[in-house]
Amino acid sequence: MTSSLSPVVRNHLSALRILLVLTAITGFLYPLAVTGVAQGAFPYQANGSRITRHGTTMGSTLLGQNFTLPEDRRRNSGRAPGPDPAWFQPRPSAGGYDPLASGASNLGPDNPVLVRTIEARRAAVARFDGVDPRDVPADAVTASGSGLDPHISAAYAHEQVNRVARVRGLRPATVHALVTAHIQGRVLGFLGERRVNVVQLNAALANHR
Amino acid sequence: MSGTLAGWLQILALVAALALSYRPLGDAIAHVLTTPRHLRVERLVYRLVGVNGDADQRWSAYLRGVLAFSAVSVLFLYGFLRLQNLLPLSLGRPPMPADQSFNTAASFVTNTNWQSYAGESTLGHLVQMAGLAVQNFVSAAVGISVVAALIRGFTRKETDRVGNFWVDLTRITLRILLPLAFVFAIVLVAGGVIQNLHGAESIPTIAGGHQSLTGGPVASQEVIKELGTNGGGFYNANSSHPFENPNAFTNWLEIYLLLAIAFALPRTFGRMAGDHRQGYAIVAVMALIWAASVAIVTVDELHSVSSRAGHAAGAMTEGKEQRFGVWASALFAASTTLTSTGAIDSAHDSYSPFGGGMTIFNMMLGEIAPGGTGSGLYGILVLAVIAVFVAGLMVGRTPEYLGKKLRGREMKFASLYILTTPTVVLAGAALAMARPGERAGMLNPGPHGFSEVLYAFTSAGNNNGSAFAGLSVDTTWYNTALGLAMLFGRFLPMVFILALAGSLAGQAPVPVTAGTLPTHRPLFVGLLTGVVLIVVGLTYFPALSLGPLAEGLQ
């Protein structure tokens, strides 16, 4: 059938056919098989490790969220809502914790804009939490790579305890214990960093009545 | 456990895992590339495609196969991206613009996976799964196919046949990449990577706001993105996104996957050459350079509170995820830029001047330590040819490698290979810097801005695909220029490699004599490492001194 075609055309037809065959295998059969096994064996993970309350999805343990004041309580319209002192605050985010806009600030290590931003964040966090600016840890003043980092350091979590306890009318020791219970060690003891998941911590705080 | 001890342990565990898989994986690939037996499904594929699986090709026919397959792939993917709005699972996304579609198609077919788009806001699930992820498989298989032809050039005697491209492509995809991808995709899902076909779902948050929870077949694409040293993220944030890389274990596994095949291929080389020591010598050079690079990036990120932002914050945490920390991020950064992967788990643009500069230098080495799947091994074998030639010049003998003489013809192809990528990179960066509109794309001021442009062309020309992502590259000029840089940087070297393979295969081997340079001893490992650093260092030193070096020494 194809023997009458020129070798160049025949070569490209072979190329197209093998692409279509491999697309069928690696582009359809393979991802659908993985989806099937994943949904069957690990439905919780495959669907995004969701946090639910009374049957409603309230987020994912993997994705950070904003814990800001409701929009209608904004002091000046046009400004982004400020952090809500009743919640533990996550790291700064380049994308405002919007999963449709993941990403980093991409500001260079000697960029004056980044230096000024970090200094302003340090002052703001210290004022907000009522602590010495020197005690504000690095993760509290730097944006993550994804803009969706759900974690903060244990130091930053502890640093926020007094403010959260005061606003919620809880004993600092109670909130401190809650934070300590949410500190996650390194995976297998040596992979990655120690951290506190802000979303899970705040979800626990919401249930703490 | 202290942070330093934990950091060392994650590196040592990685080295141990790579050492454990070196033999079985390398031997498995060698078996797939040499066995005369076809699987039943492969016979079916050859019948559907209309090729003879038992007929070996001349180097020129092999090359025509590679080029035809890649050309068809670029057109197919281009069409797919342009028409995605008409297809199911498009999530209502409009077609990708023409210049960006060209850039993306060239990017995924060349195993670069440079992305001037943000996945979560641009693409539907079907084009990710059946367009981009397919190229993740086959572009990696093309790389291994080409190095298989080169190895056959060394090992075969007086023949003009270097293998059958269709057979190599099919076998590597179906027997190596597909089973590994399937198993580790499930492991990634168990670790928390998502795998579904949902669109974005608006949900109430704990504090009473709203958030869009995204879905997608992420794990199946994530695994081959690393295993095939592709690096194109499902999401804009790539492997720093928690849905692609939810914890420090998946992070460690992803680093392992992106290194595994490239580090095992020297075993394949040694086995096919009938002398495992040749493979050990090559892998030793790769490992030396990798270890040095990991050390430099890690030390720089740990101690770079000397940069102004690092000093202001107290640690180099800008652009890094809390769950990974500095050690795991630096390990990922060094590995991804040395392997042509280009996935990132932290923002390289915010790395310290020397740490970020090292990621550029890693790519400039030509992606050879261990490099991309296949392309890493053929890259370092060309440098081995150069090293043998240099040694031959010193003692005044005709150089030979694995019994094959390196005559004028072979050295011409090796030299052309070495010159191609630097030409593409430096000419591209110079052109961009000469154009005010393109200079305006820089996000950061001063030498760091130049580093962004240099990084972009280094990444494209060497088919890495990572970025100093501050540079605004979604413009017609950058999409076109970087698209062309990726195509030239991928296929011109392949032409020279296959021509070299054909030239070597035609030779009768010369007997080993007392004057033959042994290419499995530490002396050769040192010589080859030196050649790698000198060839690259001299080529790129002026450009590096204008960017990261100027920045770091300020």
Portion of chain A with pLDDT greater than 90, in percent: 88
Residues of A in Cβ contact (< 8 Å) with B314? 137-138
B18: contact with A, CB 8 A cutoff: no
> Does residue B122 register a pLDDT over 90?
yes
Question: B250: distance to nearest CA of chain A, Å?
Answer: 10
Residues of B in Cβ contact (< 8 Å) with A50? 213
Residue of A62, A70, A63, A64 lying closest to A86 (CA atoms): A70
Across residues A183-200, what is the average pLDDT?
A: 97
The predicted pLDDT at position B305 comes to 65
Which tens digits make up the pLDDT trace of B330-342?
Answer: 999 999 999 999 9
Which tens digits make up the pLDDT trace of B217-229?
Answer: 999 999 999 999 9
- Whether residue B6 and residue A41 make contact (CB cut-off 8 A), yes or no, is no
H helix and E strand count, chain A: 8, 5
CB B536 within 8 A of CB B364: yes
- What is the rounded CA–CA span in Å between residue A133 and residue A153? 16
- Indicate whether this model's pTM tops 0.80: yes
**By CA distance, what is A153's nearest residue in B?**
B322
Per-residue pLDDT band at B206 (split at 50, 70, 90): very high
The predicted pLDDT at position B205 comes to 95
Q: How many CA atoms lie within 13 A of B97 on its CB side?
A: 9
Per-residue pLDDT band at A1 (split at 50, 70, 90): very low
Portion of chain B with pLDDT greater than 90, in percent: 95
Which tens digits make up the pLDDT trace of B218-274?
Answer: 999 999 999 999 999 999 999 999 999 999 999 999 999 999 999 999 999 999 999
Comparing CB atoms, the residue among A39, A108, A199 nearest residue B444 is: A108
Size of interface A-B (CB pairs under 8 A): 380
Across residues A82-93, what is the average pLDDT?
A: 96
Angle between helices B375-395 and B248-272 (to 10 degrees): 50
CB B387 within 8 A of CB B463: no
> Does residue B145 register a pLDDT over 60?
yes
Comparing CB atoms, the residue among A26, A41, A104 nearest residue B137 is: A26
In the beta sheet, which residues pair with residue A196? Answer: A152, A183
CA angle B3, A149, B112 (to 5 degrees): 90
- Reported ipTM: the value is 0.95
B379: contact with A, CB 8 A cutoff: no
Per-residue pLDDT band at B397 (split at 50, 70, 90): confident
DSSP letters spanning B196-220: -----EEEE-TTS-EEEE----HHH
When the pLDDT of each residue in chain B is averaged and rounded to a whole number, the result is 96
Comparing CB atoms, the residue among A27, A101, A114 nearest residue B309 is: A114
Across residues B523-527, what is the average pLDDT?
A: 96
Residues of B in Cβ contact (< 8 Å) with A56? 203-204
- What is the rounded CA–CA span in Å between residue A205 and residue A208? 5
Comparing CB atoms, the residue among B197, B211, B249 nearest residue A188 is: B249
> Does residue B28 register a pLDDT over 60?
yes
Across residues B190-194, what is the average pLDDT?
A: 98
Residue of B252, B231, B204 lying closest to B460 (CA atoms): B231
- Whether residue B241 and residue A15 make contact (CB cut-off 8 A), yes or no, is no
The predicted pLDDT at position B553 comes to 87
Greater pLDDT, A209 or B399: B399
**By CA distance, what is A108's nearest residue in B?**
B350
R_g of chain B, CA atoms, integer Å:
23
Which tens digits make up the pLDDT trace of B450-475?
Answer: 999 999 999 999 999 999 999 999 99
**Domain boundaries, given as residue ranges, for chain A:** 7-44, 49-207
Q: In the 8-state DSSP scheme, what is residue B130?
A: I
- Whether residue A63 and residue B243 make contact (CB cut-off 8 A), yes or no, is yes
> Does residue A74 register a pLDDT over 60?
no
- What is the rounded CA–CA span in Å between residue B89 and residue A35? 15
Residues ≥6 apart with Cβ < 8 Å to B60: B498, B502
- Whether residue A102 and residue B445 make contact (CB cut-off 8 A), yes or no, is no
